[in-house]
Structure 1
Amino acid sequence: MTLFRQIYALLFGLFLLTISSLAYVQITETQSFLTKQMESDLNNASNSLGLMLVPTLEAGDRAGAETLVNVIFEGGYYQQIKLTWLVDGEQQVWNNAIRIQDVPQWFIDLDIFHTIKKESTITSGWLQLATLEITAHPGFGYHELWRIISNTIILFSILFLIAIVFARVGLTWILKPLHNLSEHAKKVAERQFGPDMPSPKTRELKELVGAFNSMSTQLKQVFNSLDSEVAELRNKNLVDQVSNLPNRQYMVSRITGWLSEPSSGALFLAKFDWLEEVHSKYGYQVRDETIRLLAEKMQHHLDEMSPSVIARIAAYEFAFLVEEQEHDQLSKYLQTLIRTVNQEITKAGCRANEDFAIGIAERSAQTSVGEMLSQADNALQSAMKAKKVFHWYENSNQQMFSREEWRKNLTQAIENKQFKFRWQPIMLTENDEICQREIYCQLDIDNTPVHAGQFMPYIELLSLGSMLDRCLIESVNDKHLVDRNYEPIAINLTVESINNFDFHTWLKQFLRSCSHPERMCFEIPETCVYADLAACEHLCHIIRDCGAHFGIDHFGRQFGSMSYLQSLRPTYVKLDQSFAHIEDNQHNSELCRALVNVAKGLDIQVIVTGIQEQEQLARFENLRLDAYQGFIVKPTMIEA
């Protein structure tokens, strides 16, 4: 019960008690007054009638006595008059039935007024003539008492209604600071720190609001300090201080994550020896400034061509990771890179297309990080030996299908829902119980198994992401996987679906018709959060309102503030796979700990990914992680 209702009930209880007491006192006093009034009237009537009957009784005129009694009796204030002649003992009795107008019978049956009688002896001198007994009629008392009670009830009801209105308005106004404080407390409990509450006029509430504002500010500072710590650790350990680009460590971790997921693209390694000439001519300060300007230009022009990760991995060596692009787009990216570098070479006073080389290695199936770096380095060395601007690493692997064949096969598979499913359990670190299962899909094309790593790049390339996500979600529902499985099922959403508001509308309708939306989780890559936060907020709001859950995948991979966690409020985050090898680098361990503290500070479940063996999991014991995922528990095929 709310404080408002408690105070409200207390006030009305006191009001009703007061009104009831006043009503009781008034009714009791009125009943006593009416009783005394009837007794006085009865005495007066008895004396008057006795005096009037003396001459008639002396004369023995019974008819005259009856006439005199009728005059008084017809007034209706007496229930019975009994006249007993003492001469012969004859009695004359007059009765009046108890009929009371405008008074309910149940009220009369309460017997509030007891029978009032007055008996007197009529005498003439020393001679006793008759006895007179008069019984009062209670109708007058009941009528008057009922009228007073009715008026009192009407008056008190009006006062009660007025009191309700004034009490509600008054309590709402008085308790408004407490209501605001309660709402603010809920937001703070959810780690949503807004502006300070205005100070109320009530002294006690003013002190309470001031203390709460102070506490909220301190909690906000704690979260901001954790966010700042993450940014500082990233800048210190993962950013090259000269170019402000990511360093070699970050690039290797990105390549690791890239190769662990279904994707396409290429790795570019570039060596800019012309920077050594700038150093020898103008000194290291001009060289560093040239590197910084070159980094800015490459980021500006290359991001327009295709999203990529650009890193400075050595003094004059740079790496470019271009994800989810095919050969034609990679060629355009290369031409843009060459043109941008030549512009900066010319500005530095050097010759274009000289003293720099680029090696390109396109991704193929089942390529490790070492192999990818080796292929790109071999291509770079070949370009330098041949004194060419660039060289592509020759890949002997042939593509399974052409682009149009991929479009035909994937469209047909989506329309006919030909996907097969596997799921991988995500285990709780506390008791090794399953907390959720992540869904993976594969295809059989011409009796050949095709894994997600092979077809997902073409899903993105051919803009089939929304169609695929709809197909997979409907297939999960058609196969009753949600009904068969008590643990939530996690589904990775494509970038196209996250940015497609038509998909948002469809997902809202689907979740509202789903029998167990709370058993469905949707995972959003962190790259999408930084690319389009508004679209992610819209999608997450729909998922949360429909009772489902969502999480952030590849948490900690991108550079930027973690403040988006406050607006999105995900159920869980999955650490990027690069953090699975925290023993390889102490700085990586520090950054991982800081990221975990940020998420745990917002009461968000943290899941570490890429766990391959028990010894690897043991290294995370001190980080208070909630769950783990990896091939330590392998995916299993889902039976139809």
Structure 2
Amino acid sequence: MTLFRQIYSLLFGLFLVVVISLAYVQFTETQSFLTKQMESDLNNTSHSLGIMLVPDLEAGDIVGAETLINVIFEGGYYQQVKLTWLVDGKQQVWENDVKIEGVPQWFIDLGFFETIKRESTITSGWIQLANLEITAHPGFGYNELWRTLTNAIIVISILFLLAIMLARFGLTWILRPLHEIAEHAAEIAQRKFGPDMAIPKTSELKSVVEAFNSMSHQLKQIFSSLDEEVTELRKKNLVDQVSKLPNRQYMMGRLNSWLSEPNNGSLMMAKFDWLEEVHSKYGYQVRDETIRLLSEKMQEQLDEIAPSVIARIAAYEFAFLITSAEQEQSSKYLHTLIRTVNQEISKAGCKPNEQFAIGIAQRTDNMTVSDILAQTDNALQKAIADNKVFHWFESNEKQLYTREQWREHLSAAISSKQFQFKWQPVYHTNKDEVVQRELYCQLTIGDKEIHAGQFMPYVELLSLGSMLDRCLIETIVDNGLLERNYEPIAINLTFNSLSDTTFHQWLNKFLRNTPLAQRIVFDIPEAGVYSDPDACQALCNIIRDNGAHFGIDHFGRQFGSMSYLQNLRPSYVKLDQSFAYYDENEHNSELCRALVNVARGLDIQIIVTGIQEQPQLARFEPLKANAYMGYIYPPTRVEL
């Protein structure tokens, strides 16, 4: 029972006790007063009637005596009058039935008034003429007592209703700070740190509110400290201090993650020997300033062409990972890079198109990190040997389809729902049970089986992401996968779906009409959260309000604050695959522990990804992650 109801019940009980006590006192006082009044009236009547009857009794006038008694008896205040003549013993009796109008019979039967009688002897001098016995009628007492009781009940009821209303409003106003404290405590339990509560005027509650505000500040400070720790570790371990770009370690982690995801793109390596000339002419300070300015210009110019990661991997070497682009777009990226570098070379007083070389390799199917690094390095060495600005590694792999052919095939597959599915189990760390199953799709075109890595880049490129997500969600529901599988099914949402308001509206309606919506979970890429936080917030609210769940995929990949976790409040996070080799690198392990602490501090489940074998999983035991996934349990085909 809530404190409000307890206090309300106590006041209600005390009010009833007081009212009942007052009513009882009033009732008994009224009963006693009416009894005394009837006794007094009976005494007066007996005395006066006895005096008035003396002449008739002395004369033996029976008719006159009866007439006199009838006048008094017909007033209705007497139940019985009995007159006994002592001369001859004759007895006359007048009686009224005990019927009282306007008073319930059950009330009369309670017998609040005892029978009141007065007996007197009428004398004339020393001679006794007759005995007179008068019994009072209780009607007057019951009428007055009933009227008093009903009036009291009406007044008490009105006062009671007023008291209840006033008590409710009064307690609500008085206990409002406690209600705010309860809401504030619930928000703190969910790791939501809002503004301070206003200090109430009630002295007893003032100290409680101040304590809560202090606790909220401390918890918020702890989270901020963890967030700052992550930021500092990233700057220390993953950022080049001169250029402020990611370093070699970060680039290698991104390469591993990029090649394990369905994507296309290319890798470029550039060697800028002209920076060494700047160093020899002007010193290391000018060289470092030139590197910083060059890095800023490259980020500013190249981010407009295609999404990429630019890293400084050695003193005069840079790497450019174009994470999603066709060869034509990569070529435009390359020429923009050359133009930007030449502009900075000219500013430094060196000759354009000299003393730098770029090697490029396009991503192909089933490529490993060592493969693409070797191809890119070979292209770079070829450009240096031929004294060219760039060299593109020639791949024998031909493009499967043109862009328009991909559009045609993908649109047809989405409209007819021709996708096949595989899913990969996510296992609990301490139990041999599946936490969720992550869904993957593939496509058959003609006699060719096309995996997601081949067609997903074109889904994003052709802005078909929201249509594909809608198709996949409808397919798993229509084919009864939610009924057949008790574990939640995780669906990776595309970037297009995150910002598509039409998809948001459709998903809201779809989940509302889906009985087992709680068995659907959605993976939202962390990059999408940073690129459009408002749209992600709206989408997450829709998912949560309809009983489904969501998590953050590639957690820890992006550079930025982790404060978005407080706003979105995901159910879980999936660590980026770049952390899969935890504890093999000291810097990597420090950052991984800090990220896990941030998520755990907000009561968010941690899922480790990229686990290939049991010894690798054992290295994560100190982190006490909640679950893990990877090719230690490879995807299996889903039978529709």
TM-score calculated relative to the size of structure 1:
0.98
Q: Show the counterpart of 1:506.
A: 506
Shift of 1:156: 2.1
Matched, 1:404 2:404: yes
Q: Show the counterpart of 1:310.
A: 310
> What does the per-residue CA deviation read over 1:311-349, in whole Å, with 9 as the maximum and x for residues that have no partner?
000011111111121112111111211111111111111
Q: Is the 8 A contact 2:306 2:324 kept in 1?
A: no
Shift of 1:582: 1.3
Partner AA of 2:609 in structure 1: T
Q: Show the counterpart of 1:127.
A: 127
1:418-429 alignment, distance < 5 Å: 418-429=418-429
Partner AA of 1:606 in structure 2: I
Q: Show the counterpart of 2:15.
A: 15
> What does the per-residue CA deviation read over 1:182-231, in whole Å, with 9 as the maximum and x for residues that have no partner?
11111111111122222222222111111221111111111111111111
Q: Show the counterpart of 2:577.
A: 577
Q: Show the counterpart of 1:136.
A: 136
1:281-296 alignment, distance < 5 Å: 281-296=281-296
Give the whole-Å Cα distance in 2 for the aligned partners of 1:264 and 1:220. 41
Percent identity over the alignment? 70
Shift of 1:516: 1.3
Give the whole-Å Cα distance in 2 for the aligned partners of 1:419 and 1:64. 120
Q: Show the counterpart of 2:167.
A: 167
Matched, 1:41 2:41: yes
Shift of 1:466: 0.5
Give the whole-Å Cα distance in 1 for the aligned partners of 2:524 and 2:578. 18
Instruction: Give the SS at the match of 1:306.
Output: coil
Shift of 1:531: 0.6
1:109-508 alignment, distance < 5 Å: 109-508=109-508
Instruction: Give the SS at the match of 1:328.
Output: helix
Shift of 1:65: 1.4
Shift of 1:58: 2.2
Shift of 1:420: 1.2
Give the whole-Å Cα distance in 2 for the aligned partners of 1:59 and 1:447. 142
Shift of 1:573: 0.2
Q: Show the counterpart of 1:539.
A: 539
Shift of 1:304: 1.4
Partner AA of 1:498 in structure 2: L
Partner AA of 2:541 in structure 1: H
Q: Show the counterpart of 2:631.
A: 631
Matched, 1:592 2:592: yes
Partner AA of 1:620 in structure 2: F
Matched, 1:557 2:570: no
Give the whole-Å Cα distance in 1 for the aligned partners of 2:388 and 2:115. 129
Give the whole-Å Cα distance in 2 for the aligned partners of 1:131 and 1:304. 127
Instruction: Give the SS at the match of 1:522.
Output: strand
Partner AA of 1:417 in structure 2: K
> What does the per-residue CA deviation read over 1:75-121, in whole Å, with 9 as the maximum and x for residues that have no partner?
11112212223333333222222333333333223222222222222
Instruction: Give the SS at the match of 2:580.
Output: helix
* Aligned length, in residue pairs: 640
Partner AA of 1:319 in structure 2: A
Give the whole-Å Cα distance in 2 for the aligned partners of 1:567 and 1:17. 51
Give the whole-Å Cα distance in 2 for the aligned partners of 1:409 and 1:105. 92
Shift of 1:357: 1.2
Give the whole-Å Cα distance in 1 for the aligned partners of 2:529 and 2:614. 32
Bigger drift between 317-326 and 52-61 goes to: 52-61
Instruction: Give the SS at the match of 1:583.
Output: coil
Give the whole-Å Cα distance in 2 for the aligned partners of 1:608 and 1:590. 15
Shift of 1:408: 1.2
Q: Is the 8 A contact 2:442 2:449 kept in 1?
A: yes
> What does the per-residue CA deviation read over 1:515-556, in whole Å, with 9 as the maximum and x for residues that have no partner?
011111001000001111111100001111111100000000
Give the whole-Å Cα distance in 2 for the aligned partners of 1:498 and 1:351. 46
Give the whole-Å Cα distance in 1 for the aligned partners of 2:148 and 2:605. 69
Partner AA of 2:205 in structure 1: L
Give the whole-Å Cα distance in 2 for the aligned partners of 1:559 and 1:333. 22
Instruction: Give the SS at the match of 1:560.
Output: coil
Q: Show the counterpart of 2:103.
A: 103
Give the whole-Å Cα distance in 2 for the aligned partners of 1:444 and 1:478. 20
Q: Show the counterpart of 2:515.
A: 515
Partner AA of 2:183 in structure 1: E
Partner AA of 2:290 in structure 1: T
Q: RMSD over aligned Cα, in angstroms?
A: 1.3
Instruction: Give the SS at the match of 2:66.
Output: helix
Shift of 1:176: 1.7
TM-score calculated relative to the size of structure 2:
0.98
> What does the per-residue CA deviation read over 1:361-389, in whole Å, with 9 as the maximum and x for residues that have no partner?
11100000111111111111111111111
Instruction: Give the SS at the match of 1:25.
Output: helix
Q: Is the 8 A contact 2:46 2:134 kept in 1?
A: yes
Gaps of 5+ in 2: none
Q: Is the 8 A contact 2:79 2:136 kept in 1?
A: yes
